[in-house]
Chain A
Amino acid sequence: MKILGVYNIKGGVGKTATAVNIAHLAASSGLRTLIWDLDPQAAATFYLRVKPKVKGSMKMLRGKRDLDEVIKGSDYANLDLLPADFSYRNMDLLLGDSKKPALQLLKLLRPLAQHYDLVVLDCPPSISLVSENIFRAADALLLPTIPTTLSLRTMEQLLDFMQGHGLNTPVYAFYSMVDRRKRMHLDIISSPADPRCTVLETTIPYATEVERMGLERRPVTDYAPRSTAARAYQALWDEVKARVGGLRPLSDFNSPF
Chain B
Amino acid sequence: MHLSLAFFDSFDWRLHAAGLRLLQVATPQGKVLRLKNAAGAETVDAVEISADPGWPADLPDSDLRRKVADLLEMRVLLPVARVDCEVTGLGVLNEDAKTVVRLQMLRLNCDSPEVREPRTLWPRLRLVAVKGYEDDLAALAARLADEWEWPRAPDCLFDEAVAAVGREPGDYSSKLEVPLKPGTMAVDALRKVMRNLLDTLERNIAGARADLDSEFLHDLRVATRRTRSALTQVKHVLPDDVVSDFRQRFAWLGQVTGPTRDLDVFLLELPRYRASLPVAMANDLDILAVHLRAAQRVAQQKLKRELGSVQMRTLLDDWHAVLDADEPPGEPGWFADLPVERVAGRRIWRMYRKVLKDGRAVFSGGHAEDMHALRKDCKKLRYLIEFFRGLYPQPALKGIIRALKDLLDNLGEFQDLEVQADTLRGFAREIADQESDSLSTVLAIGALVADLLRRQQAAHERFAGCFSAFDTPDNRAQYKALFKSGDPQQG
Contact = CB atoms under 8 A, between A and B. Distances in A.
Q: Describe A's contact surface by its main secondary structure.
A: loop
A257 B97 contact: no
A199 to B, nearest CB: 31
A6 B418 CA distance: 73
Contacts of A191: none
A255 B25 contact: yes
A190 interface: no
Contacts, number: 69
Contacts of B32: 250-252, 255
A254 B27 CA distance: 10
Interface string B1-18: 101010000000000000
A102 to B, nearest CB: 29
A252 B25 contact: yes
Contact of B91 (A51, A71, A75, A255): A75
A70 B133 CA distance: 11
B81 to A, nearest CB: 13
A246 to B, nearest CB: 15
A73 B85 contact: no
Given A254-B1, A255-B25, A257-B25, A71 B31 contact: no
Contact of B131 (A80, A217, A250, A251): A80
B97 A73 contact: no
A50 interface: yes
A164 interface: no
A241 interface: no
Interface in B151-174: 156-157
Contact of B3 (A50, A71, A73, A255): A255
Interface in B118-176: 124, 126, 128-133, 156-157
A30 interface: yes
B128 to A, nearest CB: 8
A251 B1 contact: no
A248 B5 CA distance: 22
Contacts of A60: none
B354 interface: no
A256 B27 contact: no
Nearest to B130: A73
B367 interface: no
B102 A77 contact: yes
Contact of B133 (A30, A72, A217, A257): A72
29 contacts: A73-B99, A73-B130, A73-B131, A73-B133, A74-B99, A75-B91, A77-B89, A80-B131, A250-B32, A251-B25, A251-B27, A251-B31, A252-B3, A252-B25, A252-B27, A252-B29, A252-B30, A252-B31, A254-B1, A255-B27, A255-B32, A256-B85, A256-B104, A256-B106, A256-B126, A257-B3, A257-B25, A257-B34, A257-B85
